[in-house]
Chain A
Amino acid sequence: MFLATRELRFARGRFTLMGLVIALISVLVVLLSGLSSGLVNDGVSGLKNLPASAFAFDEGTMTDNAFSRSVVDGEQLAAWQDADGIAEAEPMGVNIVNGALDDGTQLDLTLFGVVPDGFLSPEVSSGDELGRVDGIIVSEPLRDAGVEVGSVITLDRTDVELTVIGFTQGQATFGHVDVAYLPIDTWRLMAAGLAEAGAPTKAQVADLDFEYASVVALLAEDGAKPDYAGIDEAAGTMHMTLTEAFNASPGYEAETLTLSMIQVFLYAICALVVGAFFTVWTIQRSHDIAVLRAVGASGGYLLRDSLAQAAILLVGFTALGVAAGVGLGAAMPASMPFDLEVTPIAIACALTIGLGILGAAVAVLRIVRIDPLRALGGQR
Chain B
Amino acid sequence: MSTTTPALEITDAVLELGDGESRVRALDEVSLTVQPGEFVAVVGPSGSGKSSLLAIAGALSHPDSGTVKVHGTDLRTLSRRALSRFRLTNLGFVFQSGNLLPALTSADQLRLAAKLAGTRGVDVHALLASVGMAHRAGHRPGQLSGGERQRVGIARALVNSPSLLLVDEPTAALDRRRSHEVVQLLAERAHQDGVAIVMVTHDRDVLEYCDRVLEMVDGRLGVPATV
Contacts and interface: CB of A to CB of B under 8 A. Distances in A.
Interface of A: 2-3, 6-7, 9-11, 287-288, 291-292, 294-298, 301, 372-373, 375-378
Contacts of B104: 3, 6, 10
Contacts of B89: 296
A297 B81 CA distance: 10
A295 B88 contact: yes
Interface string B53-86: 0110010110000000000000000000100111
A375 B116 contact: no
State the 6 A-B residue pairs at the shortest beta-carbon distance, nearest first: A296-B88, A10-B103, A296-B87, A378-B96, A7-B103, A291-B99
B217 to A, nearest CB: 18
Nearest to B90: A296
Contacts of A7: 103
B116 A295 contact: yes
Contacts of A298: 81, 84
Given A3-B104, A6-B103, A10-B102, A376 B117 contact: no
Contact of A296 (B97, B103, B108, B116): B116
Interface in B28-68: 51, 54-55, 58, 60-61
Given A296-B84, A296-B87, A297-B88, 9 more contacts: A2-B112, A3-B101, A3-B104, A6-B103, A6-B108, A9-B103, A10-B102, A295-B87, A378-B97
22 contacts: A2-B112, A3-B101, A6-B104, A10-B104, A291-B93, A291-B95, A291-B101, A292-B116, A294-B58, A294-B93, A294-B95, A296-B88, A296-B116, A298-B84, A373-B60, A373-B61, A375-B93, A375-B95, A376-B55, A376-B168, A377-B51, A378-B173
A13 to B, nearest CB: 13
Nearest to A302: B116
Interface string B98-119: 0101111000100111011100
Contact of A378 (B60, B81, B172): B172
Contacts of A372: 60
B140 interface: yes
Interface string B128-154: 000000000000100000000000000
Interface size class of B (residues with CB under 8 A): 35 or more
Question: Chain B CB within 10 Å — which of A3, A9, A294 has the most?
Answer: A294
B215 interface: no
Nearest to A293: B84
A378 B116 CA distance: 24
Given A2-B111, A375-B93, A377-B168, A296 B99 contact: no
A297 B116 contact: yes
Contacts of A373: 55, 60-61
Interface of B: 51, 54-55, 58, 60-61, 81, 84-89, 91, 93, 95-97, 99, 101-104, 108, 111-113, 115-117, 140, 168-169, 172-173
A375 B61 CA distance: 12
Contacts of A11: 103
A377 B202 CA distance: 12
B60 A376 contact: yes
A378 B201 CA distance: 12
Interface centre among A3, A10, A295, A375 (most CB of B within 10 A): A295
Contact of A376 (B51, B85, B116): B51
B31 to A, nearest CB: 21
Contacts of B87: 294-296
A294 B60 contact: yes
A376 B54 contact: yes
B84 A288 contact: no
Contacts of A297: 84, 88, 116
